[in-house]
């Protein structure tokens, strides 16, 4: 019977994959993200920086060895994006981002001791 560590081992790579895909879309300059960041008054370089942080953080979170570093990187990137969403009262975007921020923060915690 799998223990609690086994369940977490499944979720962190999935979380990492989601962030890595979203980050890659920003890095590649996907039209929807370009439009969104422009509406916020952010530069294309800022969009790509967030994308790079999400991509790298996602890859790191998927690895048990680098999970904490990835979680910290994703927490920082998500905080910046969440701030922009809240300032513009984009609640439909902010609520899911808050959940992602929470997941990233959990990934940055040290593993439980036995």
Per-domain residue ranges of the chain: 4-107
Nearest to 92 by CA among 104, 78, 82, 102: 82
Q: Which residues of 80-108 are buried (b: 16+ CB within 10 A; e: fewer)?
A: ebbebbeeeebeebbeebeebbebbeebb
Q: What is the pLDDT of residues 44-81, one digit of tens each?
A: 999 999 999 999 999 999 999 999 999 999 999 999 99
Q: What is the pTM of this model?
A: 0.87
Confidence of residue 96 (pLDDT cuts 50, 70, 90): very high
Confidence of residue 1 (pLDDT cuts 50, 70, 90): very low
Q: What is the pLDDT of residues 7-51, one digit of tens each?
A: 557 889 999 999 999 999 999 999 999 999 999 999 999 999 999
**Does pLDDT of 5 surpass 70?**
no
């Amino acid at each position: 019977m799998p223990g609690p560590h086994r369940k977490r081992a499944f979720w962190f790579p999935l979380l990492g994959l989601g962030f890595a895909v979203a980050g890659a879309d920003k890095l590649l300059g996907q039209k929807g993200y370009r439009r969104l960041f422009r509406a916020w008054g952010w530069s294309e370089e800022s969009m790509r920086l967030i994308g790079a942080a999400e991509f790298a953080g996602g890859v790191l979170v998927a690895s048990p060895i680098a999970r904490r570093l990835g979680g910290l990187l994703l927490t920082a990137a998500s905080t910046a994006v969440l701030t922009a969403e809240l300032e513009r009262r984009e609640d439909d975007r902010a609520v899911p981002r808050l959940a992602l921020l929470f997941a990233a923060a959990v990934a940055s915690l040290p593993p439980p001791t036995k």
